[in-house]
Amino acid sequence: MDRTNVLELPNGNVTVLGTVKGLVSERKLVQKIFRASRPEVVGLHIGKEEISGLKAVVKGKVENTYLSSYEKVYARELSKYGEVMIPPPSLVEAYEVAKSLDIPVKALDFDETNYATIYTEMIDGVTMIRQSLRLKSINKKKFKAENAEEFVIEWDRLVNRYKGFRKLEAKREAKIAKRIRSLSDKYGDVLAIVEFERMEGIVKILSER
């Protein structure tokens, strides 16, 4: 599966790298793309508060990271395709390499306040209850994926089964694409590190004229 897309925007090129969140081997992929793209700015698929948290982790100021029940199942299943760590090694590597090269690192996703507002609009109470009740069946599911890329696509379809969650992810894709365009207007060449399962939607929006 293609992991990168290079797009020409009016003020520069954008390299969109789809990464598998949590997989340690993604570090090497991030290094490779940095060498190839030589970006002027790096965007990460997280909010500004998470950028601050990532900085604290890199500096060794955070020892424990909380995982939800869904995230624990995800990590367990993903480990079948390679070593898994938190926070996502792809983000840690991107942050460390960018800082070593004095390249700005920017958040692409909603901040916590705006995300909470949109979540409340998209996900009603009934959907939240139904989603929580699905955990037991998801925990027992036998995934058919033959590699990590296929797994995250399969996982995404499973956890975003309900319309509200799909609409929420569509909102995120639109936000991230808009932010990438904004960074390109200001800096020129952009390297955007996104979740592999969101890459197709983001690239589609960026490709629209």
Q: Which helix (H) or strand (E) holds 16?
A: strand 12-19
Burial class from Cβ neighbours inside 10 Å (0-12, 13-18, 19+) for residue 209 reads exposed
Q: Over range 163-182, report the average pLDDT.
A: 96
Burial class from Cβ neighbours inside 10 Å (0-12, 13-18, 19+) for residue 29 reads buried
The Cα–Cα gap between 23 and 60 comes to 20
Q: Over range 68-83, report the average pLDDT.
A: 94
- Please state, for a pLDDT cut of 90, what percent of the chain lies above it: 79
What contacts 121, CB < 8 A, 6 or more positions away?
A: none
Q: What is the pLDDT of residue 122?
A: 93
The Cα–Cα gap between 66 and 3 comes to 28
What contacts 57, CB < 8 A, 6 or more positions away?
A: 65, 87, 92
Higher per-residue confidence, 23 vs 87: 23
Position 204, amino acid = K
* Tokens representing residue 84 in the block: 């898994």
What contacts 11, CB < 8 A, 6 or more positions away?
A: 184, 185, 188
Q: Could you report the per-residue pLDDT of 5-40, keeping only the tens digit for each?
A: 999 998 889 999 999 999 999 999 999 999 888 899
The Cα–Cα gap between 195 and 44 comes to 9
Q: Could you report the per-residue pLDDT of 89-137, keeping only the tens digit for each?
A: 999 999 999 999 999 999 999 999 999 999 999 999 999 999 988 988 9
Q: What is the pLDDT of residue 154?
A: 96
What contacts 151, CB < 8 A, 6 or more positions away?
A: 20, 77, 78, 80, 81, 143, 145
Q: Over range 70-98, report the average pLDDT.
A: 94
- Please tell me whether residue 8 adopts helix, strand or coil conformation: strand
